[in-house]
Amino acid sequence: MTQEQILNVEALEVRFGARQIFSDVTFHVCRGEFCCLLGPNGAGKSTLLKTLLGFVEPHSGKVSVLGLAPGKAGKRLGYVPQLKSFERSFPASVLELIVANLRGAWPISVTAAEREKARGALAQVKGEKLIDRPLDGLSGGETQRAFLARALVTEPELIFLDEPATGVDASGREDLYDLLHAISADKYLAAVMVTHSPAAIARTAEKIVLIDGTVKAFGPPAELMEGGKLYAMMGLGKRDPNSVPEEG
């Protein structure tokens, strides 16, 4: 039985002026798959994610996100940004952050139904106690739980995660990987995660895309990680994969 492809990228090229960020990027993700997007710093991983979200216009190539052009999938698509790209002193509560995504506008007040929906999303990430907490009082791990709940509250079919462990301490990181592992086990929700972390890859990946100017490798972890092949392609030689630094 052929799996449903819900993300298709064909011969994608992105340029900023005369500078080529990447070219000939081709891969796909099927429903329920968890895809880890890897590559060295400056390889274009975050730019690729922004292109898939519709924030960056490609120079050439084709992208289909849930059968639509980038930026057109609406609430069927979820997004968890890097912590470092978010102003964590923003004066808002976790409840408001989640309801804003559910409603598509910042809430002046929150209805009982919206509060229950937000509570349910937080329950998915084991963060119900955070619902009335201010964002500026959260740890890195708690903030990422809040943003993950924000992405999940619309019940998306595909979720993008941009180095979600950035800014999260070691104990929070393990909790985060547990949550991501649960997403990986979901047969309906697909995910694409930018990461440098061997631990995250081991806990989540069903498919790997290695990008460095173009796609250097694409396939299942068992195939790409055999005999340290993936780490050699990443320029890590015979180093212990566990010595690769985490995000942040």
Q: Is residue 158 pLDDT above 80, yes or no?
A: yes
For 27-73, write each residue's pLDDT tens digit.
999 999 999 999 888 889 989 999 999 999 999 999 999 999 999 99
Average pLDDT value for the chain: 88
Identity of the residue numbered 111: T
What does the pLDDT average to over 104-125? 94
Q: Which pLDDT band, with edges at 50, 70 and 90, does 233 fall under?
A: low
Q: Range with the lowest mean pLDDT among 100-109, 172-181, 239-248?
A: 239-248
Which of 19, 46, 2, 18 minimizes the C-alpha distance to 192? Answer: 46
Residue 63 vs residues 32, 89, 97, 144: alpha-carbon distances, Å: 19, 35, 29, 28
Q: Is residue 242 pLDDT above 60, yes or no?
A: no
> How much is the pLDDT for 118?
97
Comparison of pLDDT for 246 and 59, the residue scoring more? 59
Q: Is residue 194 pLDDT above 60, yes or no?
A: yes
**Between β-strands 158-162 and 60-65, what pairing exists: parallel, antiparallel or unpaired?**
unpaired
Whole-structure pTM value: 0.88
Residue 109's contacts (CB-CB under 8 Å, 6 or more residues apart) are none
What does the pLDDT average to over 113-134? 95
> How much is the pLDDT for 191?
96
CB distance 206 to 225 below 8 Å = no
Q: Is residue 238 pLDDT above 50, yes or no?
A: no
> How much is the pLDDT for 245?
43
Q: Is residue 232 pLDDT above 70, yes or no?
A: no
> How much is the pLDDT for 202?
86
The CATH architecture that domain 5-87+159-243 belongs to is: 3-Layer(aba) Sandwich (3.40)
What does the pLDDT average to over 187-207? 90
Sign of the alpha-carbon torsion through 35, 83, 45, 70: positive
The proportion of the chain whose per-residue pLDDT surpasses 90, expressed as a percent, equals 63
Q: Range with the lowest mean pLDDT among 176-185, 207-216, 223-232?
A: 223-232
Q: Is residue 227 pLDDT above 80, yes or no?
A: no
Q: Range with the lowest mean pLDDT among 107-111, 153-157, 229-233?
A: 229-233
> Can you spell out the DSSP letters for the chain?
-PPPEEEEEEEEEEEETTEEEEEEEEEEEETT-EEEEE--TTSSHHHHHHHHHTSS--SEEEEEETTB-TT--GGGEEEE--GGGS-TT-S-BHHHHHHHHHHTS--SS--HHHHHHHHHHHHHTT-GGGTT-BGGG--HHHHHHHHHHHHHTT--SEEEEESTTTT--HHHHHHHHHHHHHHHT-SS-EEEEE---HHHHHHH-SEEEEESSSEEEEE-HHHHSGGGHHHHHTT-TTS-GGGSPPP-
Q: What are the domain boundaries of the chain?
A: 5-87+159-243
Residue 236's contacts (CB-CB under 8 Å, 6 or more residues apart) are 244
